[in-house]
Chains A and B, each alone.
Chain A
Amino acid sequence: MSFLRGRDDTKPWTGAYAPYDLIKELCVAIGVIALLAVLLTVLFSSPDDKPSTIAQWSRQMPVDFVTTATAELDGKSGTAEYGPPYNHNGSGQHIAFIELQKWLGVSHPIDTANDYVINPLHSVPGNPALQSAIATYQAAPAKTQAAWTEAYSAALEKATVGPGGAVRVPPGAYGPVPVMMNGLLALAQSGGLDGALLTSSQFFQTDYTNPLLFMADGGVLEKRAEAQHLLGDQWGMMNETGSYPGQVWLWLYTFWYQIEPFKESENADALVMALMGLLSLAFICVPFIPGVRDLPRGIPIYKLIWKEHYREQGA
């Protein structure tokens, strides 16, 4: 195991000492850093762009909202096909035979058709036509349901927005889907869906997984993110809204997403995370990695750091 230690001729210091006031230095450093933070605060403040809501989304982009909701209903959305930890409809990402995403299982179960569409619609009072449409949809065979939602999804590409914000599509064989979708749209535009997606068995709620994933399936967050240079191909993970520095320390993590083979890989997230895990381990183990640990001795940056010392020593 001696190779782990490498060449190390460092001996305890037996030379001279200079007076040093540790506490004073710490206090001065706190003062300087606090002053710098206040200065930066006065000059630049901090960003606080208001969050998007489902109500805003459904009012400003009703066709996108209905298209997303239809995909949730027929199980074709990003969340519906995600796999663990939300459902079993996909196997998730993997690295060769290592399928951690699958192995860790479903911890936050989401049934998009019921959680995002049918259950919220059941909560709408005083609308027999809507409840009848839901009953018709649920009673239909899966094949028929799929035919309705697929036809409706295709028709949404030619959709228009009518008075009151309702979405209109050309006539077609959509079954009860248009009634359900316009019912959900009306619920969303009233603000009711924001609350409905947070409802759980207890009164207090702090888990926003359901509404966030629903919005992420649509275009509302992405549209704002693109305008704020936050997309993945815009080094988004390390940026934040406005021109603020954001999490610049994630530059290396973000970098891998910009290049092949990660850029186009279906397992890009797993590959990047694994690579960063290995690099982090290497970072911790620098003292034991031959070559990496020897580089500082070979490149004389240390002569700049200790130039006073070497001058005094007459080197």
Chain B
Amino acid sequence: MSTTTPPGTRTSWTTRTRERAVDALPPEKLLPDGQPTYVASWIYVFGVASIAALIVIISSGMVLALKGPAWWHYTGIGHFFNSIHLWSVELFFFVMVVHLWGKYWMAAWRGGRARVWITGAITFIVAVPCALTGYVSQQNFDAQWISTQAKDGLNSMGIGAFFNVTNFGQMYSYHVLLLPLAVMGLVAAHVLLVRRHGVVPPFELKTGSAGSAPAAVPPTAEATPNAGGGRS
């Protein structure tokens, strides 16, 4: 890209940002239409399933947000969307944990992919208070009990001084805006890093030529025109 940039635009922040972005993630790497042949296991499904669950969580949460925090208590349709919100959260954590264990046993941080692991791990950790703030924003007995119990752990570390789980207004703000933004930002960073570095190759076996050794079947033009990334 830089070779085609007209003179005079080298100092443009926009040009430089675009060039760096395209250099880091050219379109064929950002949205690949091929993947390495070793990506052939059900375990790979759990990464995209985590993203799918997050999308269902956010969609159902947006419906709940449109009508306000009390709506789901007194309407059947509200309760229906609250239930979808709850179960998509349960599914999100389930598929994310399977995804994390799968990536652990693949040692998916190899080959310069440590940041991929780190962003994934932080996403899990940030998702926990994201869910907790939802539980304490329910305006029912669950919220009363969980908030009065959770306060002690948070207070014991001084966190309660600025993050008060018995303050519904503060918790609702965290739940519908601040923490979801953090989770979405982390997931976006995680996925972009996966696209940039690709899916981690298998371990090389001591007795064979597996792993990143030259392939038994060389890449074909048909299969690999725009390959570079992979599933998360």
Chain A interface (Cβ < 8 Å from any Cβ of B): 8-23, 25-26, 29-30, 32-34, 36-38, 40-41, 44-52, 82, 84-85, 92-93, 100-101, 103-105, 107-108, 206-209, 212-213, 215-216, 221, 224-225, 228, 230, 232, 236-237, 240-241, 244-245, 247-250, 253, 267, 269-270, 272-274, 277, 280, 283-288, 293, 296-297, 299, 301-302, 305-310, 312-315
Contacts and interface: CB of A to CB of B under 8 A. Distances in A.
B1 interface: no
Interface in B67-85: 72-73, 79-80, 82-84
Contacts of B91: 33, 36-37, 40
A30 B91 CA distance: 12
Contact of B38 (A274, A283, A309): A309
B200 interface: yes
B37 A283 contact: no
B153 A273 contact: yes
Contacts of A288: 114
Contacts of A305: 41, 43, 102, 105-106, 202
Interface string B81-125: 011101110110101010000101111011100100110011011
B155 A84 contact: yes
B131 interface: yes
A10 B208 contact: no
B204 A9 contact: yes
Nearest to A31: B52
A52 B41 CA distance: 49
B149 A310 contact: no
A213 B209 CA distance: 65
Given A232-B149, A315-B207, A296 B106 contact: yes
Given A37-B87, A287-B118, A310 B141 contact: no
Contacts of A273: 153-154, 156-157
16 contacts: A15-B38, A18-B36, A20-B33, A37-B60, A49-B140, A207-B167, A212-B166, A228-B141, A253-B153, A273-B154, A284-B125, A306-B203, A313-B209, A314-B208, A315-B205, A315-B209
Given A16-B220, A284-B125, A237 B146 contact: yes
Given A296-B106, A313-B205, 13 more contacts: A11-B111, A15-B216, A25-B231, A34-B84, A49-B140, A51-B141, A52-B144, A84-B158, A221-B148, A224-B141, A237-B146, A272-B153, A286-B117
B160 A14 contact: no
Contact of A309 (B37, B60, B169): B37
B182 interface: no
A301 B105 contact: yes
A77 to B, nearest CB: 13
Given A16-B37, A20-B227, A33-B53, A48 B73 contact: yes
B107 A310 contact: no
Contacts of A245: 90
B167 A208 contact: yes
B218 A33 contact: no
A16 B142 CA distance: 53
Contacts of A248: 90, 93
Given A93-B156, A286-B121, A17 B36 contact: yes
Contacts of B86: 46, 244
A221 B30 CA distance: 52
A100 B157 contact: yes
Given A22-B31, A107-B162, A313 B216 contact: yes
Contacts of B189: none
B66 interface: no
A17 B84 contact: no
Contact of B107 (A30, A46, A51, A296): A296
Contacts of A22: 31-33, 229, 231
A315 B208 contact: yes
Interface in B143-182: 143-150, 152-162, 164, 166-170, 172
